[in-house]
Structure 1
Amino acid sequence: MSITLTRAARAFLALPHTATLTTLRPDGTPHVAPVRFTFDPATGLARVTTRAAARKARNVAAGGPAARVALCQADGPRWITLEGRASVGADPVRLAEAVRRYTARYGSAPPAPPDLAVIEITIDRHLSLNV
């Protein structure tokens, strides 16, 4: 499912900012972590590279197909939150695409630990202010 964003929102999401990713621990409490991410407005897919052993990746895996997350990028009084269903995996094709997009957005490749994984978020809702 693709979401409709304004041109200003798409431009804001293309800036090389850090965001926060909120996942739910198995006990239902929120876990918030700073992340770098990419967003493809054509498909509504956001990607976060991480270690498979990282808490955020384990939270997504524990949530199964119903796992929902929120990704929030802010810059002063401007912010946008992207919400959706998430999955985590280490498929080489998906990882390569995530690394390619990350490198294009941030100007350098992401860290490459031996257990590199990608959290893919199918965005189905967004909220924003001043973008």
Structure 2
Amino acid sequence: MKDEQVKDIAKILLGAGLIFAGIGHLTFARKPFQAQVPDWVPLKKDDTVVSSGFVEIAMGTSLILAPKKYKKEVGQLAAALFVCVFPGNISQFVNKRSAFGLNTDNRRFLRLFFQPVLIYWALKSTGNKL
């Protein structure tokens, strides 16, 4: 399998994951996602979860369907999204909020290290130089 094919598959998987998470924000995982919204966010937690769900669906769709000439920019936007939601992961850890099986300090702490992986994945799968 060629390097470009691997990147395309990785990009599609990331996009599908974002779409799935976005749907979760709007439906079956709405309450658990509220555990990640920092208290300093000026919107109601549910409004934040719903809004971010729409953003994740749009971002996932863009990763999958955007024309090749925009794939680097879409990857940069996806990476920026993962940077922007990172404070939610920190908030969940600091405030000891359980959700998604993250019900211990160790699990919530280890989750923090997954965010850089998502950022790398978004950039690398869209051909951005690291």
Which TM-score applies when normalising by structure 1?
A: 0.25
Structure with the largest fraction of strand: 1
Which TM-score applies when normalising by structure 2?
A: 0.25
Larger Rg: 2
